[in-house]
Chains A and B, each alone.
Chain A
Amino acid sequence: MENRAIFSGRLLPYLLILPQLAVSLIFFYWPAVQALQQSFLVQDAFGLSTEFVWFENYVELFKRPEYYQAIGVTFVFSALVAFFSLTLGLLLAAMANRNIAGVQVYRTFLIIPYAVAPAVASVLFIFMFQPGLGMIARAMQRNGIDWNPVLNGTQAMILVVIIAVWNQISYNFLFFLAGLQAIPKSVIEAAAIDGAKPMRRFWTIIFPLLSPTTFFLIVINITYVFFNTLGIIDTATGGGPNGATQTLVYKVFQDGKVGTDLGGSAAQSVILMVIVVALTAFQFRYVEKKVHY
Chain B
Amino acid sequence: MVEHRRFGNLLPHLVLLAGVAIVAFPVYLAVIASTHDNTVIANGQMPLYPGSHGLETYWSTIVSGTGKTTRAPVGGMMLNSLIMAIGIAVGKIAISIISAYAIVFFSFPFRMTAFWTIFITLMLPVEVRIFPTYKITSDLHMLDSYAGLILPLIASATATLLFRQFFMTVPKELVEASKIDGAGPVRFFFDTLLPLSVTNIAALFVILFIYGWNQYLWPLLITTRDDMQTIVIGIKKIIDVHDALTEWQVAMATAVLAMLPPVAVVVLMQRLFVKGLIETEK
Contacts and interface: CB of A to CB of B under 8 A. Distances in A.
- Max chain B Cβ within 10 angstroms of own Cβ: one of A125, A127, A220: A127
B22, B188, B252 interface centre (most CB from chain A within 10 Å): B22
B184 A7 contact: yes
A50 B181 CA distance: 63
25 contacts: A4-B172, A6-B107, A9-B185, A12-B186, A16-B99, A17-B118, A21-B117, A23-B151, A31-B132, A32-B129, A38-B132, A88-B19, A92-B16, A95-B15, A98-B9, A109-B24, A117-B232, A117-B259, A119-B214, A119-B216, A126-B239, A128-B29, A138-B44, A265-B131, A276-B125
Interface in A173-193: 174-175, 178, 189, 192
B243 A34 contact: no
B266 interface: yes
Interface in B4-34: 5, 9, 11-13, 15-16, 19-20, 22-24, 26-27, 29-30, 33
Contacts of A256: 130-131
B241 interface: no
B127 A227 contact: yes
> For this complex, into which size category does the number of interface residues on chain B fall?
35 or more
Nearest to B33: A127
Interface of B: 1, 3, 5, 9, 11-13, 15-16, 19-20, 22-24, 26-27, 29-30, 33, 41-42, 44, 46, 94-96, 98-99, 101-108, 111, 114, 117-118, 121-125, 127-133, 135-137, 151-152, 154-155, 160, 168, 172-176, 179, 184-186, 188, 210, 213-217, 220, 232-233, 235-236, 239, 243, 248, 251-252, 255, 258-259, 262-263, 265-267, 270, 273-274, 277-278, 281
Interface string A81-121: 00000001001100110101000001111111111111111
A5 interface: yes
Given A109-B24, A252-B131, A253-B130, 6 more contacts: A31-B133, A127-B252, A166-B26, A230-B216, A235-B235, A253-B127
A9 B187 CA distance: 13
B216 A27 contact: no
Contacts of B263: 112, 115-116
A31 to B, nearest CB: 3
A169 interface: yes
Chain B: interface secondary structure? helix
Nearest to A249: B127
B265 A115 contact: yes
Contacts of A17: 98-99, 102-103, 114, 118
